[in-house]
Amino acid sequence: MKFSCEKEVLLKEILTAQEIISSRNALSILSNVYLEADNDKLKIKATDLKVSFEVEIPVDVQISGRTTIFCDKFLGILRSLPEGEIVFELSEENVFFIRPVFKKIDFQLRTMSPDKYPEIQKVSEDRFFKLPQKDFIDMISKTIFAVSTDETRYFMTGPYLERVDKSLVMVATDGRRLSLAKKELPGEIEGLKGVIIPTKILNIVKKLSSGEGELEIAITEKSIFIRLGELNFSSSLIEGQFPNYQRVIPKDNKYMIVIKKSVLEDALKRVSVLAEQKSRKVLFFLKENSLIVASEENEVGQAKEELECEYSGPETVLAVNYIYVLEPLREMGSEDISIEFTEETKAITLKPIPEEDYLHIVMPMQVT
């Protein structure tokens, strides 16, 4: 095998490959990236058995062939090389040579047989449907922070995706909060059942998305496939029964606070400096058109800030984890937000104003 290409063309794809590869398998085939050169194209594959990546890039192929090499070291070598054209060659002894055209630099890497490389799942073209990249990435951003990190509750460690009427809904929860984002579908999708998607593939797609144009998604019984331009990703789905999130969403809240998002966000950042770092608890003291945000750290000090808001209801105290309020606020693009509740022990709902297809539910903490 022998081919050549510009450093930057290959480096970008190997960076993506390294994100996919399992770091726990430092000396196994799973720590290698698969390379196959043929017809002036280089096919690149990477997998950790759950999440996979595949792409083809144009290169100048002199001799067709395939191999696998240790991705981490290959990436390190590419990063260290000067800009320009690089020649890559596999010898008869299965040593992979890396040589820049205009510099006297010579790297050699050991290889592993491509025959041992795991097969990457495929799906038929008719299973794919299209979505605007911007919409899908927005849904990820508004939900992924709320997934559970508790591996014993594996069925909540990824966002849940389903079709509801003519919309696509993404939900994430860790049992103490819930985020829901909804986007109208551009067309009909046949046979889309609710699935739980691992965060790894969603984080990678979010990172690599330009936000322009469309992406393609296909979902089978056990896998999801996402096509982002020339980049092809696939992942096993998380098995299990996602909680009935509709039961968590309050239908009729009695009271509502309307406040400037930036005002509440800034106050929470300030007051949280003296919140107990384990509980992260802050208190909302409510009275007519006034919200006092307060915190106290034992043996250290306390803080409070009074904010103007629209509120007409009984004097009430709500206790919340300030992180569970700050994270959804960052994802709301509106100037004003609403905080809705019925009583201090029941779920609190945060929404942008004007109301969009997004809401966040927070379970309150004990006041004392």
* CB-based contact 117:68 (threshold 8 Å): yes
pLDDT tier at 23, thresholds 50, 70, 90: low
Structure tokens that stand for 80 in this block: 């260290």
Q: What is the pLDDT of residue 65?
A: 97
Residues 326-332 have a mean pLDDT of 97
For residue 26, pLDDT beyond 80: no
Q: What is the pLDDT of residue 25?
A: 55
For residue 24, pLDDT beyond 60: no
Q: Could you read off the pLDDT of 206-226 as tens digits, one per residue?
A: 999 999 999 999 999 999 999
Q: Of the candidates 320, 333, 330, which has an alpha carbon nearest to the alpha carbon of residue 361?
A: 320
For residue 327, pLDDT beyond 70: yes
Residues 281-288 have a mean pLDDT of 97
Contacts of 308 (CB under 8 A, 6+ apart): 259, 263, 289, 290, 291
Structure tokens that stand for 101 in this block: 């055209």
Residues 314-338 have a mean pLDDT of 96
CA–CA distance, 39 with 28 (Å, rounded to integer) = 29
Domains and CATH numbers, the chain: 2-116 (3.10.150.10), 125-246 (3.10.150.10), 250-362 (3.10.150.10)
Average predicted confidence (pLDDT) for the chain? 94
Q: Could you read off the pLDDT of 145-177 as tens digits, one per residue?
A: 999 999 899 999 999 999 998 899 999 999 999
For residue 243, pLDDT beyond 90: yes
The full length of the chain comes to 368
Secondary structure of the chain in HEC code, one letter for each residue: CEEEEEHHHHHHHHHHHHHHCCCCCCCCHHHEEEEEEECCEEEEEEECCCEEEEEEEECEEEECEEEEEEHHHHHHHHHHCCCCEEEEEECCCCEEEEEECCCCCCEEEEEECHHHCCCCCCCCHHHCEEEEHHHHHHHHHHHHHHCCCCHHHHHHCCCEEEEECCEEEEEEECCCEEEEEEEECCCCCCCCCCEECCHHHHHHHHHHCCCCCEEEEEECCCEEEEEECCEEEEEECECCCCCCHHHCCCCCCCEEEEEEHHHHHHHHHHHHHHCCCCCCEEEEEEECCEEEEEEEECCCEEEEEEEECECCCCCEEEEEEHHHHHHHHHCCCCCEEEEEECCCCCCEEEEEECCCCEEEEECCCCCC
pLDDT tier at 324, thresholds 50, 70, 90: very high
CA–CA distance, 180 with 171 (Å, rounded to integer) = 4
Q: Could you read off the pLDDT of 124-136 as tens digits, one per residue?
A: 998 899 999 999 9
pLDDT tier at 355, thresholds 50, 70, 90: confident
Residues 243-258 have a mean pLDDT of 94
pLDDT tier at 44, thresholds 50, 70, 90: very high
Q: What is the pLDDT of residue 233?
A: 98
pLDDT tier at 367, thresholds 50, 70, 90: confident
Residues 229-243 have a mean pLDDT of 96
* CB-based contact 316:339 (threshold 8 Å): no
* CB-based contact 292:285 (threshold 8 Å): yes
Q: What is the pLDDT of residue 27?
A: 65
